Amino acid sequence: MSQTINMKQMEQKLQKADRKQSRLYLFCNFTALAIISAYSALMLSPTVQRVFPEGGDSRKQMYMIFVMTLAGCVVFTIYALGLFFRHKSGQLGILMAIGTSRRRLAPGLFREVMLLSGMSAIAGTIAGFPFVWIIWHGFRLILVDSSDMALTFDFRCLFISLLFMLLVVGFACLTAWRYLKKTNIMEVIREEHINEPVKEPGRWCGPVGFLLILAGAVLGYGAPWAFQAWFHMYSPPWAGVFYAPVFPGLYMVMLHTVVHGWRRHKRNPYKNIISRSMMKFQGRQTVNNLLVVTLLIAGGCFAVFYLPANGVSMMMRYASQPYDYFYKYQADQDVPERDEVEALGKEYGLTFQEWGECVYVSLGIGGSTDIEEEGMRFRVEYVPMLNEARVLSEDAYRTLTGQEADVEPGTYLSVTNQEETSLSVNQSAREFTNMVTRTQLDTEFAGYLHYDLLVDDMYCCVLDNDDYDRIAEGLTDEWKGRIVQFNVDGKDSYAFAKAFYNRFVASFDETCERHRHYDRVSKIRYDEAGEEYWADTFDAATVSYENSDSFMFRQFWVYQPDFRILDQNDYLRNMSVLFMMFLFIFLVCLVTAQVVCYTRCQSIALNNRYVFDDLRKLGASPAFLDKEVRSQCANVFRVPSLVGMSGMFLLFTMILYANDGRITRAEWITMGVCLAVLALIGVMIYGVYRGSVRAIKGRLGI
Amino acid sequence: MLYVKELYKSYEAGKNKYQVLKGIDFHVAKGEFVAVMGPSGSGKTTLLNCISCYIPFDRGNIRLGGMELAGMNEEALARVRNTKIGFVFQDFMLLDGLNIRENILVPRIVQGEVGAEAQRLADQLAAMFGIGHILEKYPAEISGGEKQRAAVARSLINNPLIILADEPTGNLDSKSGRAVIETFNNAKEQMNATIFMVTHDSFAASFCDRVILLKDGTIYRQLEKEESRSGFQDQLLDVLKEMSR
């Protein structure tokens, strides 16, 4: 050997030898950035933004889970960095010990750290886009395709990735600087063996933690209700603080898991002493990791529950629909009459039966409503012309539904669904108003009628025949309408339904190009009060005939018909963007959680390598070592998964119950489907657990 | 060569303060091979870490080759560690990614570019300590004894004023341990190296010219070797027994 060698070459050689450690760090960074980049690309994509209602719960849900994912990614990049430096510190310590100054070490270290973190971050950010593209197009290819799903990117999402990238690189440099600043060289050398034990709490810790979680969930969920009922004010934004006990509760549960475990081995208290002590001595980081994993799994479940929650009730609704075709329209629109519909049906070889139709009128209905005051407060006030209501006469209702409807003069019956879970029922009206003549009919609530097809966002009421005739007098066609329903004799045809749908939409003029939340009576009331009606200035409250096949139109057009075969077949297509997004969120959360678990297990193994070596020297059999590794990994995977999944399932159940004060049949089935989904998630997590065990055993040579 | 005067060092653990070194005084002459012994907790390793400038001390003076170590800045201390002191650790502390020749050369490499002359010196040291045949191998491929001899060679590459060794035989079997101690002896005899070694091992200490015995942070006694190695070891064992009473 006669070549020269300098510091830079030596550092390069050392870096080359550290490939294994670097690879784990690169992998974690790359994965985190790919996840963040993909999530933000999808979240901010115009395709998704168009479909998720502005200010809607699903959008909030999407953002909330993004924050959780971000937190997860921050944790595991920091964690991977910690692992990398733990190894690196040995090297730094040796070099410092034999007289390398910090100034001499700094350039090489910063170069390495910036190169690794920067390179992986850039690669991850770039990879996020094809990742989204592949998943999205895979979904389109395998499951459903629609024009709504054409994926476009808003490249502003790069700002989020860029910020995260800077955070990753910045934190890496900061950690490098922190190591270099350590004055005690022995500390640097021994960093690899430094433990972070947690203070051991009593066995009360876990149960109290569970109580806190429960208390937080109940308080948080009940807070908006309590504000409204007790203080007559809307829940302020800070009311989320009532959920706060959940977090110390979760921490205590995880701490209990790490320190005590959940099984008492009275006969053999030393049964898990080795695996338990290994976890305990890395306690602080382990607890933090378990917390993040729990939240990610809970977030993933929250997202994936959206699919059955929506799908089951819709599918059940389609299945229980008594008529194949049901639609309503304004009297002044040129909608095909019966003979035209039948002629169209003939073209598709269809004949119809049980044809039924009736007329209705649109009236102003009074009701109690919240009037906003200063400081989030509100008062409940009765407003005579509160909303638009679809009103049928007794005879019309009987003709349409075949049900008896005996309405006393001066009263009204509200139409609701069979399970009485609809929110569009009015029990407080004292009068109906003819919006053309402004005559009023005094009335009072007398009970319910049940007909699912008539239930939508508009109140639907039935009046005594004479009352109906009196109040409807003088109404123009724009305040009158017709409801039609019929069944197909034999097997229905999707092609017919599609053709009829297109013809149906085409027959409406622009006066009916309204969002279902656009209330004509409210609009008049606001105009007369000289106030601005919210829907006039809210872009999301508009629909366009140009997109009559889109999700938004079908979801929100005021005259959207119920064509069973069309709705059933197009359901997935129409909901595809929402479903795709939530499925994606679920996958991202699950993948992030599993990466955190995997790296945690790896680090426990690496940090305790010497324990396993000692155990081997003390005569521990491979089977015993295998059991210890499994026990370690099981603790990391099992508790966060169980707590995350069961916690979210309970919260979901609470939400279903709180919607209408009970669990409906569709909701029971939804819960069953969710449990099946949880079982599937459990199987997936078990697969990763097995993989982690295998990898650790490989590293430890067991 | 090395003067330690009135050295005090304490640690704080929570609210408690532990005085580990309570006014240590001694000196080591050029070419002398000195060991420090004592029961666990007596302050041996703390003393070595203070002399190595790895940890700051509370009070006192350490002079090495006429230089006062207290008050030196980080940069100057690093220079002292690199050029004036050679280190041998219990767990060898070789860099896994470098071969043995490169490991021996590390203290030179951190000074700047290493050329053929330094490499020749590394080869000579390796040959002198019986590890010339493994120069191209990596630490993972050689035995513990060989690793420690490589570490001794590394400690000598800059021709330091003193070699500080922390339990150099602690991780080795008796045969390898003896080989390492003989390596120190070789260095002392052939290069007039000054060696200051912390050890638990009375056998290793019996090779030294002098043994400083520490107890509870103070010097209990200093023993000079005046007889045969085995006689000196017996003497050491007797004093250690006496100390433990």
- Given an 8 Å threshold on Cβ–Cβ distance, is B105 in contact with A7? no
- Chain A residues whose CB is inside 8 A of the B116 CB are 2, 4
Highest mean pLDDT among A253-267, A312-326, A467-481: A467-481
- Given an 8 Å threshold on Cβ–Cβ distance, is A17 in contact with B96? yes
pLDDT of residue A192: 53
Contact A462, A407 (CB under 8 A): yes
Q: What percent of chain A has pLDDT over 90?
A: 29
pLDDT at A370 over 90: no
Q: Of A185, A287, A195, give the one whose Cα is nearest residue A607.
A: A195
- Chain A residues whose CB is inside 8 A of the B52 CB are 97
Query: How wide is the angle at C-alpha B66 spanned by C-alphas B60 and B67, nearest 5°?
Result: 60
Sheet bearing B2-13, strands edge to edge: B16-28, B2-13, B59-64, B67-68
Distance from CA of B233 to the nearest CA of A (A): 31
Spatial separation of the C-alpha atoms in residues A146 and A574, rounded to whole Å: 8
For A262, the 3-state DSSP assignment is coil
Q: pLDDT of A463-516, one tens digit each?
A: 999 999 999 999 999 999 999 999 998 888 899 999 999 999 999 999 999 998
Spatial separation of the C-alpha atoms in residues A335 and A506, rounded to whole Å: 9
CA-based nearest residue in chain B for residue A12: B97
* Burial class for A170, CB neighbours closer than 10 Å (0-12, 13-18, 19+): exposed
Average pLDDT over residues A69-78: 78
pLDDT of residue A397: 95
Query: How wide is the angle at C-alpha A633 spanned by C-alphas A628 and A639, nearest 5°?
Result: 120
For A199, the 3-state DSSP assignment is coil
Spatial separation of the C-alpha atoms in residues A596 and A35, rounded to whole Å: 13
pLDDT of residue B198: 93
Spatial separation of the C-alpha atoms in residues B16 and A48, rounded to whole Å: 60
CA-based nearest residue in chain B for residue A19: B97
pLDDT at A68 over 90: no
Spatial separation of the C-alpha atoms in residues B72 and B82, rounded to whole Å: 14
With b meaning 16 or more CB within 10 Å and e meaning fewer, what string describes A502-527? Answer: eebbeebeeebbbbbbbbbbbbbbbe
The B-side interface with A (CB below 8 A) comprises 49, 52, 54-56, 74-75, 78-83, 85, 87, 89, 93-98, 101-102, 105-107, 109-110, 112-116, 119, 135, 154
Interface residue A95 vs chain B (CB under 8 A) = yes
pLDDT of residue A434: 95
pLDDT at A191 over 60: no
Q: What percent of chain B has pLDDT over 90?
A: 38
Best residue in B51, B72, B82 to probe A by mutation, most A CBs within 10 Å?
A: B82
Residue B243, Cα to own-chain centre: how many angstroms?
Answer: 23
- Chain B residues whose CB is inside 8 A of the A103 CB are 75
Distances (CA, A) of A568 to A20, A312, A496, A497: 52, 12, 14, 11
Secondary structure (H, E, C), chain B: CEEEEEEEEEEEECCEEEEEEEEEEEEECCCCEEEEECCCCCCHHHHHHHHCCCCCCCEEEEEECCEECCCCCHHHHHHHHHHCEEEECCCCCCCCCCCHHHHHHHHHHCCCCECHHHHHHHHHHHHHCCCHHHCCCCHHHCCHHHHHHHHHHHHHCCCCCEEEEECCCCCCCHHHHHHHHHHHHHHHHHHCCCEEEECCCHHHHCCCCEEEEEECCEEEEEEECCCCHHHHHHHHHHHHHHHHC
Q: Which of A15, A99, A102 sits opposite B83 (nearest CB)?
A: A99
Q: Which of A94, A100, A184 sits opposite B55 (nearest CB)?
A: A184
Range 178-237 of A in CB contact (< 8 A) with B: 183-186, 189
pLDDT bucket at A234, cuts 50 / 70 / 90: confident
- Chain A residues whose CB is inside 8 A of the B80 CB are 99
pLDDT of residue A396: 95
- Chain A residues whose CB is inside 8 A of the B105 CB are 5
pLDDT bucket at A194, cuts 50 / 70 / 90: low
Spatial separation of the C-alpha atoms in residues A355 and A357, rounded to whole Å: 7
Q: Are strands B2-13 and A562-563 parallel, antiparallel or unpaired?
A: unpaired
pLDDT at A193 over 70: no
Window from A140-149, A217-226, A398-407, B136-145 with minimum mean pLDDT? A140-149
Q: Are strands B59-64 and B67-68 parallel, antiparallel or unpaired?
A: antiparallel
Highest mean pLDDT among A186-190, A499-503, B16-20: A499-503
Contact A69, A588 (CB under 8 A): yes
Q: pLDDT of A24-35, one tens digit each?
A: 788 888 888 888
Distances (CA, A) of A116 to A35, A125, A165, A173, B96: 18, 14, 12, 11, 20
Element (H, E) at A488: strand A480-489
pLDDT of residue B7: 93
What the block records as the tokens of B76 is 């100057």
Q: Of A276, A299, A216, give the one whose Cα is nearest residue A251.
A: A216
Would you say the C-alpha torsion B238, B204, B29, B25 has a positive or negative sign? Answer: negative
Average pLDDT over residues B125-143: 90
Q: pLDDT of B43-52, one tens digit each?
A: 998 999 899 8
* Burial class for A296, CB neighbours closer than 10 Å (0-12, 13-18, 19+): buried
Spatial separation of the C-alpha atoms in residues B97 and A91, rounded to whole Å: 10
Interface residue A418 vs chain B (CB under 8 A) = no
For A222, the 3-state DSSP assignment is helix
- Long-range CB contact pairs, A40-43, < 8 A, 24+: A40/A66, A40/A128, A40/A157, A40/A160, A40/A161, A41/A128, A41/A129, A41/A132, A41/A153, A41/A157, A42/A132, A42/A136, A42/A581, A42/A584, A43/A157, A43/A581
Contact A637, A600 (CB under 8 A): no
With b meaning 16 or more CB within 10 Å and e meaning fewer, what string describes A241-250? Answer: ebbebbeebb
Window from A84-93, A164-173, B16-25 with minimum mean pLDDT? A84-93
Q: In whole angstroms, how large is the CA radius of gyration of chain A?
A: 32
pLDDT at B211 over 90: yes
Contact A54, A541 (CB under 8 A): no
Specify the higher pLDDT residue, A540 or B83: B83
CA-based nearest residue in chain A for residue B156: A98
- Mean pLDDT of all residues belonging to chain B: 89
- Given an 8 Å threshold on Cβ–Cβ distance, is B98 in contact with A14? yes
Q: Which of B80, B102, B115 sits opposite A10 (nearest CB)?
A: B102
Distance from CA of B242 to the nearest CA of A (A): 32
- Given an 8 Å threshold on Cβ–Cβ distance, is B115 in contact with A4? yes
Distance from CA of A16 to the nearest CA of B (A): 8
Spatial separation of the C-alpha atoms in residues A289 and A71, rounded to whole Å: 11
pLDDT bucket at B133, cuts 50 / 70 / 90: very high
Spatial separation of the C-alpha atoms in residues A9 and B93, rounded to whole Å: 20
pLDDT of residue B73: 85
Best residue in B44, B45, B67, B95 to probe A by mutation, most A CBs within 10 Å?
A: B95
Query: How wide is the angle at C-alpha A251 spanned by C-alphas A249 and A257, nearest 5°?
Result: 105
Residue B96's identity, in one-letter code, is D
How many beta-carbon contacts under 8 Å exist across A and B?
90
Window from A269-278, A297-306, B144-153 with minimum mean pLDDT? A269-278
Distance from CA of A7 to the nearest CA of B (A): 6
For A576, the 3-state DSSP assignment is helix
Best residue in A2, A4, A5 to probe B by mutation, most B CBs within 10 Å?
A: A5
Q: Which of B78, B113, B115 sits opposite A100 (nearest CB)?
A: B78
Contacts of A370 by beta carbon, 8 Å cutoff, 6+ apart: A378, A379, A380, A381
Specify the higher pLDDT residue, B39 or A150: B39
Contact A363, A388 (CB under 8 A): yes
pTM: 0.69
Contact A577, A48 (CB under 8 A): yes
- Among left, alpha and beta (phi > 0; psi -120 to 50; other), residue A34 is alpha
Q: Which of A1, A6, A18 sits opposite B113 (nearest CB)?
A: A6
Average pLDDT over residues A427-449: 93
Q: What percent of chain A has pLDDT over 70?
A: 92
Q: Which of B74, B87, B101 sits opposite A101 (nearest CB)?
A: B74
Dmax (CA) for chain B in angstroms is 56
Backbone angles phi, psi at A606, to 5 degrees: -65, -45
Contacts of B199 by beta carbon, 8 Å cutoff, 6+ apart: B35, B36, B37, B165, B167, B168, B169, B170, B205
Spatial separation of the C-alpha atoms in residues A85 and A194, rounded to whole Å: 12
Contacts of A636 by beta carbon, 8 Å cutoff, 6+ apart: A286, A289, A290, A293, A597, A600, A601, A604, A692
Dmax (CA) for chain A in angstroms is 113
pLDDT at A183 over 60: no
Q: pLDDT of A559-612, one tens digit each?
A: 999 999 988 888 777 777 777 778 888 888 888 888 888 888 877 777 777 778
- Given an 8 Å threshold on Cβ–Cβ distance, is B54 in contact with A102? no
Q: What is the ipTM of this complex?
A: 0.89
Q: Which of A4, A91, A186 sits opposite B49 (nearest CB)?
A: A186
- Given an 8 Å threshold on Cβ–Cβ distance, is B113 in contact with A4? yes
Specify the higher pLDDT residue, B58 or A235: B58
Average pLDDT over residues A404-429: 87
Highest mean pLDDT among A36-45, A365-374, A391-400, A423-432: A391-400
pLDDT of residue A147: 64
pLDDT of residue A157: 85
- Chain A residues whose CB is inside 8 A of the B101 CB are 1
pLDDT of residue B179: 86
- Given an 8 Å threshold on Cβ–Cβ distance, is B110 in contact with A16? no
* Burial class for A264, CB neighbours closer than 10 Å (0-12, 13-18, 19+): exposed
pLDDT of residue B104: 93
Q: Which of A5, A99, A101 sits opposite B114 (nearest CB)?
A: A5
Backbone angles phi, psi at B203, to 5 degrees: -65, -50
Distance from CA of B191 to the nearest CA of A (A): 20
pLDDT of residue A356: 92
Q: pLDDT of A101-119, one tens digit each?
A: 888 888 888 998 899 999 9
pLDDT of residue A282: 65
- Given an 8 Å threshold on Cβ–Cβ distance, is B80 in contact with A98? no
Distance from CA of B218 to the nearest CA of A (A): 22
* Burial class for A372, CB neighbours closer than 10 Å (0-12, 13-18, 19+): exposed
pLDDT at B59 over 80: yes
CA-based nearest residue in chain A for residue B94: A94
Distance from CA of A100 to the nearest CA of B (A): 6
Residue holding tokens 């959920």?
Answer: A243
- Given an 8 Å threshold on Cβ–Cβ distance, is A189 in contact with B93? yes
- Given an 8 Å threshold on Cβ–Cβ distance, is A183 in contact with B87? no
pLDDT at A55 over 70: no
Backbone angles phi, psi at B34, to 5 degrees: -120, 140
Distance from CA of B143 to the nearest CA of A (A): 17
Distance from CA of A14 to the nearest CA of B (A): 5
pLDDT of residue A534: 85
Best residue in B9, B81, B198 to probe A by mutation, most A CBs within 10 Å?
A: B81
- Mean pLDDT of all residues belonging to chain A: 84
pLDDT of residue A615: 82
